[in-house]
Structure formats: structure tokens, C-alpha cells
């Protein structure tokens, strides 16, 4: 029977890398939430976000939670 193991100092690389990758949607979501909260000018490109902000806020909150907690699945 062979067992494989990771080196202890390399064990943090995967969760750290995934956390860094999860910053992309978190930062983009924070920017969108700031735009919705600040009362930015409504343009044809962002009118749908201002028309129904609740689904956008729920989506951003859930993907933030999913991406951050998902990184720890590999820890």
C-alpha cells in the first residue's frame, strides 16, 4: 500500500491561489454594488441593474460566499 502526502509548506498554495482567483468576482461585485448604492447615472447599459437590484445583490453576495468558501474545500 502506498500513500502519498503533500509537503507541509506546499499545502497552502492551492487555497491561497484559489482565494486570489476569487478576488476577481468579489472586486467586480463590489464595484457593481457601489454603483448601485451610489446612485450612479442610469444609462442604457446599466438600466436593468437599477430596475431590479435585489437579484443582483443576491447574486453578488452568493457568488462571493461560494468563491471564498470553495477555496477552503481544497485546504
Identify whether 68 is part of a domain: yes
Identify whether 32 is part of a domain: yes
Identify whether 50 is part of a domain: yes
d(CA 17, CA 62) in angstroms, rounded, equals: 20
Q: Which domain holds residue 39?
A: 11-74
Is the distance from CB of 59 to CB of 10 less than 8 angstroms? no
Identify whether 53 is part of a domain: yes
Identify whether 15 is part of a domain: yes
Is the pTM for the entire model greater than 0.75?
Answer: no
Give per-residue pLDDT as tens, 7-65: 667 778 888 999 999 999 999 999 999 988 898 898 998 888 889 999 999 999 999 99
Split into its structural domains, the chain has a count of 1
How large is the C-alpha radius of gyration of the chain? 18
d(CA 34, CA 38) in angstroms, rounded, equals: 6
Identify whether 4 is part of a domain: no
Identify whether 6 is part of a domain: no
Amino acid at each position: 500500500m502506498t500513500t502519498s502526502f503533500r509537503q507541509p509548506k506546499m499545502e497552502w498554495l492551492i487555497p491561497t491561489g484559489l482565494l486570489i482567483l476569487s478576488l476577481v468576482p468579489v472586486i467586480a461585485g463590489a464595484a457593481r454594488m457601489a454603483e448601485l448604492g451610489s446612485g450612479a447615472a442610469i444609462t442604457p447599459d446599466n438600466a436593468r441593474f437599477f430596475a431590479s437590484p435585489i437579484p443582483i445583490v443576491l447574486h453578488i453576495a452568493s457568488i462571493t460566499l461560494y468563491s471564498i468558501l470553495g477555496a477552503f474545500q481544497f485546504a
